[in-house]
């Protein structure tokens, strides 16, 4: 990485630990003669005349990396902002269970030093394009984790018709359907009984949520697939779509949802001594049998 490093700070401003950690990061950056940029949300709450501000998403183009402080949700929002701009993300974990932000506060400055020294790798994570058509309008969005379809604001089951590359998969009557990336396989899909898929495996995971059938099971399909979800006309049918757990839409049963692989990846900064499998062991307590 070049000597004159610019990086953006993206954080969960609702967490007290973020504000406790921010001054130390700024001191570290000053010591190493780096140039940190703040998002407008952070800048409004943290008055610092000497720090430049990220005014728009296009400002990320000039960054060498983005430092996120929070959890997986913070990374998801940062990934949407970065989008196709090819800027790697370094996630710092501030609290709850998380799989993407795997650098802890105790290891923060050691990892930052490694980034400055170029002692890191970059991994690519698949992104999904979600295209929702309803009532003559089309909404397009990109997701890093998952697209979740359910019955909107009601607690009724939803009936979904699924196709892959114009080939009928099946009719599902369930609380909902999840289409997840391998990165998202450890999120809602996992809670709904879906498999854990290593992020480098190029695939989608289709997971029914509480299906009204003992034979409905999760399905892993190649990332070349185009998944289409439609809904048979039923009384009082309302469709809810949630993107990465953060963006919500509601439609009637005439909606059609198409999910396909995006033409770009989200990049994460990794380190040689970090392992996805070690993360799984630590986060999920694999191999522990009641030990404290």
The residue ranges of every structural domain in the chain are: 6-120+271-284, 127-263
* Angle formed at CA 105 by CA 104 and CA 107, multiple of 5 degrees: 70
175 is catalytic: no
Compute the distance between CA of residue 62 and CA of residue 180 in angstroms, rounded to an integer. Answer: 30
Q: Identify the DSSP state of 291.
A: -
- pLDDT-derived band at 9, boundaries 50, 70, 90: very high
- pLDDT-derived band at 98, boundaries 50, 70, 90: confident
Compute the distance between CA of residue 194 and CA of residue 206 in angstroms, rounded to an integer. Answer: 8
Compute the distance between CA of residue 90 and CA of residue 68 in angstroms, rounded to an integer. Answer: 6
Tell me the three state secondary structure of residue 212.
Answer: coil
Q: Identify the DSSP state of 274.
A: -
CATH number listed for the domain at residues 6-120+271-284: 3.40.50.10330
Q: pLDDT tens across 27-63, in order?
A: 999 999 999 999 999 998 887 768 889 988 888 888 9
Compute the distance between CA of residue 168 and CA of residue 162 in angstroms, rounded to an integer. Answer: 6
Point out the catalytic residue in the list 50, 72, 113, 175. Answer: 72
Fold of the 127-263 domain: Tumour Suppressor Smad4 (2.60.200)
Residues 78, 93, 267, 111: is their CA dihedral positive or negative? positive
Compute the distance between CA of residue 218 and CA of residue 231 in angstroms, rounded to an integer. Answer: 19
């Amino acid at each position: 990485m070049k000597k004159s490093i610019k990086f953006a700070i993206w954080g969960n401003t609702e967490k007290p630990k973020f504000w406790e950690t921010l001054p130390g990061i700024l001191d570290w950056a000053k010591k190493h003669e780096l140039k940190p940029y703040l998002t407008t949300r952070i800048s409004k709450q943290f008055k610092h005349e000497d720090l430049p501000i990220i005014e728009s998403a296009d400002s990320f183009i000039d960054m060498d990396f983005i430092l996120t402080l929070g959890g997986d949700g913070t990374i998801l929002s940062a990934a949407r902002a970065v989008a196709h701009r090819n800027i790697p993300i370094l996630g710092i974990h501030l609290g709850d269970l998380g799989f993407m932000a795997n650098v802890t506060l105790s290891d923060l400055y050691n990892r930052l030093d490694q980034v400055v020294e170029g002692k890191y790798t970059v991994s690519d994570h698949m992104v999904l394009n979600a295209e929702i058509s309803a009532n003559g309008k089309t909404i397009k969005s990109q997701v890093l984790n998952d697209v979740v379809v359910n019955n909107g604001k009601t607690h009724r089951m939803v009936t979904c018709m699924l196709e892959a590359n114009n080939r009928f998969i099946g009719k599902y009557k369930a609380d909902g359907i999840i289409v997840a990336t391998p990165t998202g396989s450890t999120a809602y899909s996992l809670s709904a009984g879906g498999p854990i898929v290593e992020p480098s495996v190029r695939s989608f995971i289709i997971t029914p949520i509480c299906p009204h059938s003992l034979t409905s099971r999760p399905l892993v399909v190649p990332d070349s697939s185009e998944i289409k979800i439609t809904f048979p006309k039923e009384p009082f049918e309302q469709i809810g779509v949630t993107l990465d757990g953060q963006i919500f839409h509601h439609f009637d049963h005439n909606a059609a949802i198409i999910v396909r692989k995006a033409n770009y990846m989200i990049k994460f900064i990794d380190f040689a001594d970090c392992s996805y499998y070690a993360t799984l062991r630590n986060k999920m307590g694999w191999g522990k049998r009641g030990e404290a």
